[in-house]
Amino acid sequence: MTAMKKMKMNGKVALITGASSGIGAALAREYGRLGAEVVLSARRVDRLESLVEELEASGCSALAVPCDVTRDGDPERAVEAAIERFGRIDHVQANAGFGVAGWFHKLGVEDYRRQFDTNVFGVIRTVGAVREALIESRGCLALMGSVNSYVALPGTSPYSMSKHAVMALAGSLRHEFGVHGVSVTLVAPGFVDSEIRQVDNQGRHTGNTVDPIPDWLRMDAMTAARKIVRGVSRRRRVVLVTGHGKAIVFLQRHFPGFTEFLVRRVGVRGRKEPKGGVHRTGLA
């Protein structure tokens, strides 16, 4: 039997932000498959309710809670609903996020502020809301970073900055939460199948964008979710997802000059500027 087949999470409760699609929805399915009770939070309530029906049909207990991580009080309400329904929280996946793209001279301060409000302050709001519950359960906290936490690409400065900040936050919280028995994992995906490349710079889902990343380079969301849940359950410091993501981080760590050369050759090729949605060119 594989490690994943042996691992069970009966009696555990997982709370996932950004659970309406992509990696978030896949995480919900994976926790449900392993026997955990799942709390789904996101802005698109119809998507959440549909996923709850799917999970409950498979025998999993699930709860949908509307939550916008950019709004003060929303994460707290999600945590309160989870505690009221299930009595505890063991795993938290701070997954909600999107990407702002564009050459620096085409962006304004508001673009950076909008990016940080979701990807950084949204994570901070989530962590603040779940802290006491995780300390009580001595649970696991996962923060969604990116390969761009390690490698910044041209035309992705808002997104790359936000994911660098999440990596720093994970590093600090690993010490602060560790004394209470809570593990903190930075999740750093590369290209994964999701709707995130269909989201514009305003955070709006367009729904009509052809994914520019070739099929052979994208990892299936369920495969990514299995790797993430396994790593978080094992209380790893970092979970790098996708082979190309691991390769790029390795190059950045050991051959930064060569990595910079590659980025300039590939990322700035033709000096084409992104039209919006960091994941046209970004790494996660």
In this structure, the number of other CB atoms found within 10 A of the CB of residue 12 comes to 21
Beta-carbon-side half-sphere exposure of residue 143 (alpha carbons within 13 Å) = 33
In this structure, the number of other CB atoms found within 10 A of the CB of residue 61 comes to 16
CB 150 within 8 A of CB 248: yes
CB 260 within 8 A of CB 152: no
CB 143 within 8 A of CB 166: yes
Query: Which of 31, 112, 150, 159 is the catalytic position?
Result: 159
Q: What is the CA radius of gyration of the chain?
A: 18
Q: How far apart are CA 166 and CA 103, in angstroms?
A: 22
Let me know if 159 is a catalytic residue: yes
CB 60 within 8 A of CB 38: yes
Smallest Cα–Cα separation from 14: which of 4, 22, 173, 35?
35
What's at 44, amino acid-wise? R
CB 221 within 8 A of CB 193: yes
Q: Which are the catalytic amino acids?
A: 159
